[in-house]
Copies of this chain bind each other. A is one copy, B any other.
Amino acid sequence: MANFVPGQMMEAPLLVSSLLVHAEAYHGDTEIVSRTVEGGLHRYTYAQAARRSRQLANALRRLGVQPGERVATLAWNGYRHFELYYAVSGSGAIMHTINPRLFPEQIAWIIEDAQDTVLCFDLTFAPLVEAIAAKCKTIKHWVAMTDRAHLPAHKIPNLICYEDWVEAESDQYDWPEFDEKSACTLCYTSGTTGHPKGVLYSHRSMMLHTLAGAVPDVFGLSARDSVLPVVPMFHVNAWAIPYAAPMVGAKLVFPGAALDGASLHELFETEGVTFSAGVPTVWQGLLQHLQANKLRLTTLKRCVIGGSACPPALMQTFERDYGVKIHHAWGMTEMSPLGTFNNLKIKHLKLPKDAQFAIETKQGRPPFGVQLKIVDADGRELPRDGKAFGDLLVKGHWIIDRYYRIDQSPLRDGWFPTGDVGTLDADGFLQITDRSKDVIKSGGEWISSIDLENVACAHPAVAQAAAIAAYHPKWDERPLLVVVKKPGQDVTREEILALYPGKVAKWWIPDDVVFVSELPMTATGKISKLRLREQLKDHKLPTA
Contacts and interface: CB of A to CB of B under 8 A. Distances in A.
Interface string A8-28: 111110100011001001111
B8 A224 contact: no
Interface in A266-302: 272
Q: For chain A, which range describes its interface: under 10, 10 to 19, 20 to 34, or 35 or more residues?
A: 35 or more
A208 B211 contact: yes
A371 interface: yes
A8 B204 contact: no
Contact of A178 (B4, B178, B397): B4
Interface in A489-537: none
A43 B538 CA distance: 62
A356 to B, nearest CB: 12
Contacts of A202: 6-9
Interface string A188-208: 000000000001111111001
Contacts of A398: 9-10
Given A7-B201, A216-B216, A400-B10, A345 B66 contact: no
A30 B365 CA distance: 14
State the main secondary structure of chain A at its contact with B: loop
Q: Select the residue from A67, A183, A345 with max chain B CB neighbours within 10 A.
A: A345
Interface in A410-464: 414, 416, 426-428
B201 A9 contact: yes
A235 to B, nearest CB: 18
A469 interface: no
Contacts of A178: 1, 4
A201 to B, nearest CB: 6
A10 B399 contact: yes
A220 interface: yes
A468 to B, nearest CB: 33
A346 B184 CA distance: 30
Contact of A27 (B5, B25, B224, B428): B428
Interface of A: 1, 3-12, 14, 18-19, 22, 25-30, 66-68, 92, 94, 178-179, 181-184, 199-205, 208, 211-212, 214-217, 220-226, 247-251, 272, 336, 343-347, 349, 365-366, 368, 371, 395-404, 414, 416, 426-428
13 contacts: A3-B67, A6-B179, A7-B181, A7-B200, A7-B203, A8-B200, A9-B204, A10-B400, A14-B208, A27-B427, A215-B215, A224-B349, A225-B346
Given A27-B428, A211-B211, A224-B349, 11 more contacts: A3-B67, A7-B204, A8-B401, A8-B403, A9-B336, A9-B398, A10-B401, A22-B371, A215-B215, A217-B223, A249-B345
